[in-house]
Structure 1
Amino acid sequence: MAINAYKTYQNNAVNTATGSELTLMLYNGCIKFIKQSKKELEAGNFEDKNKCIQKAQNIIQELMLTLDQKVEISKQMIPLYEYMHYRLTQANLKNDCEMLDEVLGFAIEFRDTWKQVIQKNRQKEFAQGAQI
């Protein structure tokens, strides 16, 4: 019963999230799967490590697909996402924790920056709403 309630909560969170919040969820998911892949690698669970890395790669692909090509920063993000995807492939093939750490660092940095963008936008919206 608690599991069903949690799934309902998750579905509602995704269905009611803004585009910015969905991007934040994607970053958090990517971070989660990279961390999990490291645990699986260290435990010698190579099949599960592979699944987690593939999930992280799928999220990175989704992040690339959602970029607005009209915005200059998007054009700069594509090569970074491609690099992260490539490094995950290499980490998967070579069972390399350092490569996973490298991509994890990027994902955390991008997520934290994205959080700041959301917060600044909310502050602007709040300030504009207070002026009306």
Structure 2
Amino acid sequence: MLNVRLIRIIAVKGGFMAYNKNHFNAYQRASETVSEVKQVIMLYEGAINFIEQAKEAIREQNYEKRYNLINKAMAIVTGLNSCLEFNDETGEVATALDEYYQSLDMRLLYINTNDSIKECDGVIGDLRVMLDAWRDVEESTMSETDDADSHEVSQKQLKNEVKSKPINDLGSLKDIQITV
């Protein structure tokens, strides 16, 4: 479950501590009024935005700016990973997401040490695949009723997809159907 704790992690690790208390309160209010799915979408959008800006910093050879922007993206990935729930119901999917987030973290470290625009593009592409999946989840949750059965995520297809494809083949995740 995403909550204020995640926003705080991102605020501290992402360098947002320079904002005044009113800005932090705005993040806290948003975490209380925005759905969890929408929070995840916003975090993916933020990570993509930071990496896009880091690409420009690499082009400008502004290494300090690139470092700070990539660290903000890493803070988002770390925050998302720390919110995963591992239990019998979510185990395989949570494990796959954990591996995905760890892979992103390593790739972001690579960008910070090698100034690779190509790797930035690869990470952004992978994040967009997952962002599209979360947007699909958001659409399906908005269009369905509050029936208890409609809130159970279909784990079977996700588990089969995770088992059949290596974690670095994220293009196949676009075809996963998630029922909420």
Q: TM-score, normalised by structure 2?
A: 0.62
Residue ranges of structure 1 left out of the alignment (5+ in a row): 1-6
Displacement of 1:122 in angstroms is 1.5
Query: Residues of 1 paired with 2:74 and 2:53: CA distance?
Result: 13
Comparing 81-90 with 11-20, greater Cα deviation is found at: 11-20
Is the counterpart of residue 104 in structure 1 residue 124 in structure 2? yes
> Which residue is 1:64 aligned to?
81
Residues 10-25 of structure 1: matches in 2 within 5 Å? Answer: 11=27, 12-25=29-42
After superposing on structure 2, the runs of 4+ consecutive aligned residues of structure 1 that deviate more than 3 Å are: 10-15
Q: Which of the numbers 59, 70, 83 marks the counterpart of 2:103? A: 83
> Which residue is 1:35 aligned to?
52
Residue ranges of structure 2 left out of the alignment (5+ in a row): 1-22, 148-180
Say how many residue pairs are matched: 122
Is the counterpart of residue 46 in structure 1 residue 63 in structure 2? yes
Deviation digits for residues 54-108 of structure 1, max 9, x if unmatched? Answer: 0000100011011121213111111111111101101110111111111111111
Identity of aligned residues (%): 25
Q: Which has the higher helix share?
A: 1
Query: Residues of 1 paired with 2:145 and 2:50: CA distance?
Result: 33
Q: TM-score, normalised by structure 1?
A: 0.83
Query: Residues of 1 paired with 2:69 and 2:111: CA distance?
Result: 12
Is the counterpart of residue 120 in structure 1 residue 140 in structure 2? yes
> Which residue is 2:94 aligned to?
74
